[in-house]
Amino acid sequence: MDLIQTNITPADGEQSVRTYCCTYYKSKLLGLETNGYLGVTNKRVIFQAMGSSVSGKSVLQSEVPVADVSGISSYKGIYFSLMSLLGAFFATAIFIVLTAGLMTTIAMAIDSYDAFRAIAWIVAIAALIGSFLLPVKSIWRPILAGVSAGAFFALGGNIFSFISFGGSSDFTIFLAAIALIYALLCMYWNARRPTFSLSINSKGGSSTPISISSASGLGLFTISGGKSLNAEPAKDAEPMLKELGALILDIQMLGDYGISKWTQH
């Protein structure tokens, strides 16, 4: 995608040198999902992200004359999201209770304890195997591990004290504990989220006309325009971080030769 050819009106004699799909925004809170593009022309450095949600169209745009760029700082890595951890924890806990409750209902509805054990084992093993087939970042991975733990708890004597299914089993309680530990590990990996930030400073002090914000601290919300969104790295993030400084410096120092160098690169 070329910003000058699509979403940006060019100035007189302005031509695009490079455009990077550098970041990705996704907010369940705002219902927004979109890519962010950084375009470098012979005159400007432009950042733009356009998306739509149920509340309407959103545009985030900032720019700086390429001659005024004085410094670049960036980060691409991982942050720990406390909100994601808590969300996965409560969702998993709910499914553990629901699974144990379902197993209780099944045990009360059928006369055969052997039939109940067969159903509970199938649920526990299927949920555990199914969790391994999902991406590490999927919230359904700890949930399925929790379902497995709930079924194993039911096999070992049910977490509801007023019903017992043939006495406690140390082995199935041990399996339930293993499934819980695995669920906690899945929650931890679910809470590790990619993040990306870029700040382009201009001459004249502390001015930062282009700022792509990453999550900070434990990933709690800060509601202030674009900063309410965590920027994740997109497909061109790493190449952009390697090239951007040299690209801008060549345009500033070499003029048309620098532009020609990067348009043919």
199-244 confidence digits (pLDDT tens): 898 886 667 888 887 655 444 433 334 444 678 888 999 999 999 9
**Reported pTM:** 0.70
Report the 10 Å Cβ neighbour count for 199: 15
Least confident of 11-15, 45-49, 105-109, 237-241: 105-109
Question: Phi, psi at residue 115, to the nearest 5°?
Answer: -65, -40
Secondary structure (3-state) at 115? helix
Q: Name the token pair of 195.
A: 């993040």
CB–CB of 157/168 below 8 Å?
yes
**Cα four-point dihedral sign 105, 110, 113, 116:** negative
Secondary structure (3-state) at 10? coil
Question: 3-77+195-263 has which fold?
Answer: PH-domain like (2.30.29)
CB–CB of 231/60 below 8 Å?
no
Is 60 exceeded by the pLDDT of residue 58?
yes
Closest to 249 measured CA to CA, from 261, 264, 265, 239: 261
CB–CB of 200/54 below 8 Å?
no
Question: Phi, psi at residue 180, to the nearest 5°?
Answer: -65, -45
For residue 228, what is the DSSP state?
Answer: G
* pLDDT tens figures, 114-172: 888 888 899 999 999 999 999 988 999 999 999 999 999 888 764 433 344 444 467 88
Q: Which residue has the tokens 């950042």?
A: 47
Q: Name the token pair of 172.
A: 């199935």
Q: Where in the chain do CATH 2.30.29.30 domains reside?
A: 3-77+195-263
**Helices (DSSP H) in 133-236: which residue ranges?**
140-156, 170-191
